A and B are shown apart, each in its own frame.
Chain A
């Protein structure tokens, strides 16, 4: 089959947009990795639960997407903080495996509570229907641009917080050198609460954006877990810039692979890139060099 330049541009556009959206849960993953030092397998399900919360708000409170978004963020932050206080805080002294296994448990528990009380149905956000723009074959959906723009805005806000606010600086200090940070008087308890609230908000917005772009289903988040993890590794663990770069790279690569392996193998492409990076350059694009095992 022949691939025209127009096809490539379309794939690049779609891939970049997907990448920007995936960047949100990837950021959530990399923040937790950098500070709490374990892969949080519940990231996906935080997204799903928040997205459903957004749907719920929209169903109750009228058609305002903004309100739905706020509802989602509130739900995401809440669920993230609750599970931190109940589960992850108690596991802080233990090996990362323990937190990882527990996070799988949290993921299952959150998802099951959702499906039990809300059901398995798919939902869509009611967004104004706008036709796709077409520039000589290059298709752009305004909705897609909208969600990508929101994602970018969220990322900018996050970077602003990390670099320009005291709490953000404390988070980075805690990620860099926890002992030194504590010795400098940084109270990790407060910082960690802020961290998990941020993580929840990021997941919520990610879930919302994906939900707006496509549909909200119980598997929404879980299916994004592996691609987000891959993006985190490719970009470099603990590096927010890396998370975004890795996500966009992965989004584009996955999209470009579609003409060759079909849409269902996108996760396999992400996985293959993950393996490649782990084997050839374990620290990813922007990560710190990992000391030899």
Chain B
């Protein structure tokens, strides 16, 4: 039982990093990123491939984070030229292109076959049990640090300015401040966090394949952020925990409701995410901000 909870906790904390990153981009700065999963995948594959080539995990994680952030740079530049809706679809398209590239470039990623045998974190402690607790501890520490950073950031002048950008970019410019630099920085920071989350994911699951990186993952993160309360880091924390309750709960529900296959459960989950997005948009608009005129 404890082992199960530890594993769930690990996944929850990985999603927490993703949600905090998205909240920084959208909740604080108003940048619509429908391509979260792309940076998650880039981080995962980068770290996995480096580790498979003998790299130690800590530097591999570091490189994964940085690579994800660097890939975000051109997308960040794009966000300067595109209004919200266009950025959304462009980032969505980008994440699909990344997934297809992972699928096709088999010489690098083994494509659809998948990348097995990725070194696990704390592998010297064996698999499961103590090793998992250690992983959980590292993730907790990591999240605590990131949350602390975010809470500090939102109260800082930098944080104030990015929220002003979210609220009204035209007014920011009228004050003589250029929003562009900050928007790109924020985009890269959020992407880096997603990349870090990906690295944790790769070295926990130890097997990667392109169909783990479908757009659905992006919208899991979105619904986590929305449910928890957009624009608040504590909301991102709560939302990611609720998301995992939902995801794991749906797995349990199958035990109670006979005759429901895993495939059908997947459909139910998709339906609930879809419904959640619709209902929250309709009835809890503050869950979406969207305060730009």
A and B touch in the complex (CB under 8 A): yes
Binding site for B on A (CB under 8 A): 38-39, 41, 87, 90-91, 94-102, 104-113, 115-116, 120, 226, 229-230, 233, 262, 264-265, 267-268, 271, 274-275, 278-279, 282, 293
From A105, which residue of chain B is reached at the shortest CB distance? B277
Contacts of B292 in A (CB 8 A): 95
Q: Are A94 and B268 in contact (CB under 8 A)?
A: no
Least CB distance from A253 to B in Å reads: 15
Contacts of B279 in A (CB 8 A): 105
Listed A/B pairs (18) with beta-carbon separation below 8 Å:
A38-B85, A87-B282, A95-B290, A95-B292, A98-B290, A101-B288, A105-B275, A107-B274, A111-B274, A116-B267, A226-B93, A229-B89, A229-B93, A264-B104, A267-B96, A267-B100, A271-B97, A279-B78
Question: Cα distance A112–B97 when bound, in Å?
Answer: 23
Q: Are A102 and B270 in contact (CB under 8 A)?
A: no
Residues A112 and B271 in contact in the complex (CB < 8 Å), given A96-B85, A101-B222, A104-B219 = yes
Contacts of B92 in A (CB 8 A): 41, 226
B81 in the interface (beta carbon within 8 A): yes
Question: Cα distance A87–B219 when bound, in Å?
Answer: 18
Nearest 10 interchain pairs by C-beta = A108-B274, A105-B277, A109-B274, A112-B271, A105-B278, A112-B270, A95-B290, A116-B267, A102-B281, A226-B93
Contacts of B32 in A (CB 8 A): 97
Question: Cα distance A96–B282 when bound, in Å?
Answer: 13
Q: Are B82 and A278 in contact (CB under 8 A)?
A: yes
Question: Which residues of chain B (243-293) have a CB below 8 Å from chain A?
Answer: 263-264, 267-271, 273-279, 281-282, 285, 288, 290-292
Which of A99, A226, A233 has a CB less than 8 Å from the CB of B96?
A226
Question: Cα distance A107–B268 when bound, in Å?
Answer: 14
Question: Cα distance A293–B97 when bound, in Å?
Answer: 27
A38, A96, A100, A104 interface centre (most CB from chain B within 10 Å): A104
Residues A97 and B88 in contact in the complex (CB < 8 Å), given A104-B219, A104-B277, A105-B281 = yes
Contacts of B94 in A (CB 8 A): 271
Least CB distance from B191 to A in Å reads: 18
Question: Cα distance A262–B101 when bound, in Å?
Answer: 11
B86 in the interface (beta carbon within 8 A): yes
From A237, which residue of chain B is reached at the shortest CB distance? B86
Question: Cα distance A54–B34 when bound, in Å?
Answer: 32
